[in-house]
Amino acid sequence: MRSWWHTSLYSVSLLIMLFVRSCWLVCVEVPSDTEALHGTNMKLTCISCMKREEVNTDTMVEWTYVSNDGKEISIYEYNGEPREVKGPYQGRLLWNGSKDLQDVSITIVNVTLNDSGLYRCTIKRYFNYEMHRPSVTDVKEVQLTVHEDEMIYCYRKILKSEEAVQENATDYLAIPSGNKENHSTVPVEE
């Protein structure tokens, strides 16, 4: 009986370890938040999950700001280590990337209205083969809108949620067949 107990406990422990280990390997690509309030910090999320064959690669990352006329301005790089690029964002960017370089996010400190616009995150992974170095590239974009006033920002959020509620509410309205000509709507009672 005791040996059965030890074998079962060992098996359960092994399964738990395998489950926990597999949980660590999970990567989920989530989109970045796209709205910020003037004067706050804003994380620009860029997650690029690696495929199994990409684990043994060298990763390079470039963050750029795309101006209204389409010109790309380099603002941050990662090539073995994170580095700010000299320019309008210098001193205002923080690296939020993970050690495994699947998350290569950055944070803009103290966002201003001028920070509104399109940001592009380009991840390039170079394979470490002896004869050649093929690569794979992944590009993510974040369209950032910076709001000046918290009240306006909150009002817009509330307005959007109310519009969504109204759209969903129309699914619960019914027009009785005898009243179709006068287009009056009557809520369905539960």
Q: List the structure tokens of 139.
A: 């590009």
Question: Tell me: the pLDDT tens digits for 26-54?
Answer: 788 888 889 999 999 999 999 999 887 77
Q: Which residues of 71-99 are buried (b: 16+ CB within 10 A; e: fewer)?
A: eeeebbbbeeebebbeeebeebbebebee
The neighbouring-strand residues paired with 93 are 108
Question: Tell me: the pLDDT tens digits for 70-85?
Answer: 899 999 999 999 999 9
Q: Cβ distance 65 to 119 under 8 Å?
A: yes
Question: Tell me: the pLDDT tens digits for 87-146?
Answer: 999 999 999 999 999 999 999 999 999 999 999 999 999 988 877 778 899 999 999 999
Q: List the structure tokens of 181.
A: 């000509």
Is the pLDDT reported for residue 157 higher than 60? yes
Q: For residue 12, give the H/E element and its range.
A: helix 2-24
Q: How far apart are CA 184 and CA 167, in angstroms?
A: 17
- What integer best gives the mean pLDDT of the chain? 78
> What does the pLDDT read at residue 124?
96
The predicted model scores a pTM of 0.65
Over residues 175-181, the mean pLDDT reads 45
Over residues 150-174, the mean pLDDT reads 62
Question: Tell me: the pLDDT tens digits for 11-24?
Answer: 444 444 434 344 44
Is the pLDDT reported for residue 170 higher than 60? no
Q: List the structure tokens of 133.
A: 């170095």
Nearest of 40, 36, 37, 34 to residue 110 by alpha carbon:
40
